[in-house]
């Protein structure tokens, strides 16, 4: 074979290998793993042991897989992950303001972050390899699968992760079958220390409509990170069959919780109230620990059982 032909063939092989490694797909050599993610590229040690995690959903996943961490933001650890309040785990700041000095001091092998830390990615990357693992609210279940497979690859636990993914898919299918068969319409409401906002299709809780098949009572809700602010008059006008409530005040230290906020005559005149179809969702799971193996299973199970019990 001529030298020029050999060079051409080798070049084609190299290009093919490059094309095959998309975002969030790790590549390996003998000592390190190279991960391309949405914010950049991280090269981390194989089987990293010193892990700092800023995303509670990721921490939920690591705990389920039996993978320990050395540090996390401890200013408001959810009850779902209460064991991480133990002093054995380092406090590395808050979700929005990492303690860079502390992180540098404990010398992690890898830092795992999500959307709330995206603006300080460059600073964290200078301390240690940093991987962005975020849930796409527009494509919730598929992005959860992608993230879990990434973590499974990093720790060589692909088979275990796939078993969990199969369980998540089975739960999703069951809920979607139930939701899509229902004629009743639902409205997703967040109560925040006396204030009200609603979420619809395409929102951070849009998975309830897209992946879980439930019909939206209002298809014109503005898609915004903090929802569309509404009044009690709006709720009475929409008058949904189901009201799915997330109590933000319960997890952020507010003084007025959702049940107090919704305890009035206008709410008592709604169909959802009369038919006992106001469902108070686990706010930690839906708002704080989103995207973890166990949190996703519990979210789906909670909604499935709540709907089933009130049909």
CATH number for the domain including 116? 3.40.50.1980
**In which band, very low, low, confident or very high, does the pLDDT at 8 lie, cut at 50, 70 and 90?**
very low
Q: What is the mean pLDDT of residues 226-245?
A: 97
The DSSP secondary-structure symbol of 243 reads E
Establish if 32 belongs to a structural domain: no
Both 82 and 177 in one domain: the answer is yes
Q: Do 297 and 275 touch, CB atoms closer than 8 A?
A: no
Q: How far is CA 128 from CA 49, 207, 239, 281, in A?
A: 13, 33, 51, 37
Q: How far apart are CA 30 and CA 24, in angstroms?
A: 19
Q: What is the pLDDT of residue 12?
A: 43
* pLDDT tens column, 124-180: 999 999 999 988 888 999 999 999 999 998 888 999 999 999 999 999 999 999 999
Answer whether 0.75 is exceeded by the pTM: yes
Query: By mean pLDDT, which of 29-33, 70-74, 92-96, 258-262 is the weakest?
Result: 29-33
Q: Among 175, 148, 137, which residue's Cα sits nearest to residue 57? A: 148
15 or 87, which is more confident = 87
Both 154 and 73 in one domain: the answer is yes
Residue 234 has pLDDT above 50, yes or no: yes
Inter-residue long-range contacts of 258-264, CB under 8 Å, 24+ positions, other chains counted: 258/191, 261/191, 261/194, 261/196, 262/191, 264/232
CA torsion through residues 57, 58, 63, 66, sign: positive
Establish if 269 belongs to a structural domain: yes
Establish if 198 belongs to a structural domain: yes
Establish if 76 belongs to a structural domain: yes
Q: How far apart are CA 283 and CA 68, in angstroms?
A: 25
- Please count the structural domains in the chain: 2
Q: How far is CA 9 from CA 18, 39, 72, 205, in A?
A: 14, 33, 48, 49
Establish if 34 belongs to a structural domain: no
Q: What is the pLDDT of residue 9?
A: 42
Establish if 22 belongs to a structural domain: no
Task: Quote the longest CA-to-CA distance of the chain.
Answer: 87
Domain boundary among 181, 212, 246: 181
> What is the extent of the structural domain holding 139?
44-181
Both 105 and 132 in one domain: the answer is yes
Q: How far apart are CA 61 and CA 67, in angstroms?
A: 9
Both 176 and 228 in one domain: the answer is no
Both 81 and 49 in one domain: the answer is yes
The DSSP secondary-structure symbol of 290 reads T
Both 205 and 132 in one domain: the answer is no
Residue 2 has pLDDT above 70, yes or no: no
Both 161 and 197 in one domain: the answer is no
Q: How far apart are CA 25 and CA 38, in angstroms?
A: 11
Q: Do 92 and 114 touch, CB atoms closer than 8 A?
A: no
Phi, psi of 47 (to 5 degrees): 55, 60
Establish if 80 belongs to a structural domain: yes
110 or 29, which is more confident = 110
Both 202 and 89 in one domain: the answer is no
**In which band, very low, low, confident or very high, does the pLDDT at 27 lie, cut at 50, 70 and 90?**
low
Residue 105 has pLDDT above 70, yes or no: yes
Domain boundary among 136, 159, 181: 181
Q: What is the pLDDT of residue 87?
A: 96
Q: Which two tokens stand for residue 2?
A: 């001529």
Q: Among 82, 86, 57, 81, which residue's Cα sits nearest to residue 70? A: 86
Domain boundary among 181, 207, 242: 181
**Counting Cβ atoms within 10 Å, is residue 3 exposed (0-12), middle (13-18) or buried (19+)?**
exposed
Q: How far apart are CA 6 and CA 11, in angstroms?
A: 9
Both 85 and 176 in one domain: the answer is yes
**In which band, very low, low, confident or very high, does the pLDDT at 4 lie, cut at 50, 70 and 90?**
very low
Q: Which two tokens stand for residue 75?
A: 């200013």
Q: What is the mean pLDDT of residues 33-50?
A: 88
Both 196 and 213 in one domain: the answer is yes
* pLDDT tens column, 278-297: 999 999 999 999 999 999 99
């Amino acid at each position: 074979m001529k030298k020029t032909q050999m060079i051409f063939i080798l070049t084609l092989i190299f290009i093919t290998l490059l094309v095959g490694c998309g975002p969030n797909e790790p590549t390996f050599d003998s000592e390190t793993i190279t991960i391309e993610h949405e914010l950049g590229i991280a090269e981390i040690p194989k089987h990293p042991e010193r892990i700092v995690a800023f995303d509670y959903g990721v921490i939920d996943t690591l705990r389920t897989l039996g993978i320990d961490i050395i540090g996390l933001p401890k200013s408001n650890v959810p009850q779902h992950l209460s064991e991480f309040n133990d002093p054995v785990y380092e406090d590395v700041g808050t979700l929005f303001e990492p303690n860079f000095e502390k992180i540098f001091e404990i010398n992690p092998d890898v830092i795992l972050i999500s959307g709330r830390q995206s603006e300080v990615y460059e600073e964290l990357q200078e301390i240690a390899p940093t991987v962005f693992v975020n849930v796409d609210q527009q494509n919730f279940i598929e992005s959860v699968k992608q993230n879990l497979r990434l973590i499974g690859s990093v720790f060589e636990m692909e088979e275990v992760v796939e078993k969990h993914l199969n369980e998540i898919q089975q739960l999703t299918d069951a809920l979607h079958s139930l939701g899509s068969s229902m004629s009743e319409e639902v409205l997703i409401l967040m109560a925040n220390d006396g204030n009200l906002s609603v979420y619809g299709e395409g929102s951070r809780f849009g998975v309830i409509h897209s992946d879980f098949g439930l019909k939206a009572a209002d298809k014109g809700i503005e898609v915004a990170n903090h929802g569309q602010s509404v009044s009690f008059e709006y709720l009475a006008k929409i008058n949904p069959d189901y009201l799915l409530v997330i109590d933000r005040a319960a997890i952020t230290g507010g003084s007025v919780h959702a049940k107090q906020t919704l305890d009035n005559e206008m709410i008592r005149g709604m169909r959802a109230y009369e038919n006992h179809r106001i469902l108070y969702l686990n706010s930690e799971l839906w708002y704080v620990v989103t995207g973890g193996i166990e949190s996703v299973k519990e979210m789906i199970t909670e909604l499935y059982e709540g709907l089933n019990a009130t049909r």
